[in-house]
Amino acid sequence: TQLLEQSPQFLSIQEGENLTVYCNSSSVFSSLQWYRQEPGEGPVLLVTVVTGGEVKKLKRLTFQFGDARKDSSLHITAAQPGDTGLYLCAGARSNTGKLIFGQGTTLQVKP
Amino acid sequence: EAGVTQSPTHLIKTRGQQATLRCSPISGHTSVYWYQQALGLGLQFLLWYDEGEERNRGNFPPRFSGRQFPNYSSELNVNALELEDSALYLCASSLGGRSGNEQFFGPGTRLTVL
């Protein structure tokens, strides 16, 4: 059972376009983390959101945690080729230690 | 500050053999997590160690086991290797004591079972 549905799975856009990646669940998470992973490497943590309704910005990336802490979104403004990669959302459950990962969104930004 | 390190980078084994993967956490981190990233299956939680104790285990058979040493480094052992064990094995670390702390990943060990 996939507890975190991430969409879209694949996205190919032109440089300068905007995009949004969604991460949805019917379960509540204590926190949600977004990672970016390059081929053959480990995921790199981008941001952690903890409070329902929280919005965090990282340069051109905007992350939002849903009010009920069940969903999240990642919005990229004016995408650049350097943004190309696999984006993963991961929900944390209290006292379990484990992160539950979405399937990932493969983003390709063409120059 | 050094990040999470893993060794070896690549490991090739045959069916039925045993594999040992190693992980060193970020300095000051006491929790270590293991994940499996198999093609088409995404990242799946394997094990969580904190202060030398196994705290939680994912839905994997008992032939997946590990331990955490007094210096907080960790080992993942996979016995009786099967072809479907071929995957990228990722180790992560965090400040310990409670779940929910941010997890920082290492570069992974690519295990290939022939």
Give per-residue pLDDT as tens, B17-53. Answer: 999 999 999 999 999 999 999 987 889 999 999 999 9
Q: How confident is the model at residue B55 (pLDDT cuts 50, 70, 90)?
A: very high
Share of chain B above pLDDT 70, in %: 96
Optimal mutation site among B48, B95, B103, B109, interface A, most CBs of chain A within 10 A: B103
- Residues B42, A100: C-beta atoms closer than 8 Å: no
CA distance A83 to B72: 34
CB A8 within 8 A of CB A102: no
CA distance A67 to A63: 13
- At A95 the pLDDT is 81
B4 chain-A contacts, CB cut-off 8 A:
42
- Which residue among B99, B106, B108 sits closest to A96, beta carbon to beta carbon? B99
For the segment A16-63, what is each residue's pLDDT rounded down to a tens digit? 999 999 999 999 999 999 999 998 899 999 999 999 999 999 999 999
For residues B54-65, give the mean pLDDT. 95
Cα distances from A21 to residues A24, A31, B84, B105, in angstroms, run: 10, 17, 30, 22
Q: How confident is the model at residue B106 (pLDDT cuts 50, 70, 90)?
A: very high
Which among B82, B89, B70 has a CA at the least distance from the CA of B21?
Answer: B89
Share of chain A above pLDDT 70, in %: 98
For the segment A65-107, what is each residue's pLDDT rounded down to a tens digit? 999 999 999 999 999 999 999 999 999 987 888 899 999 999 9
CA distance B46 to B60: 7
CA distance A10 to A26: 22
- Which residue among B4, B100, B110 sits closest to A92, beta carbon to beta carbon? B100
- At B98 the pLDDT is 61
- Residues A92, B99: C-beta atoms closer than 8 Å: yes
- At A96 the pLDDT is 85
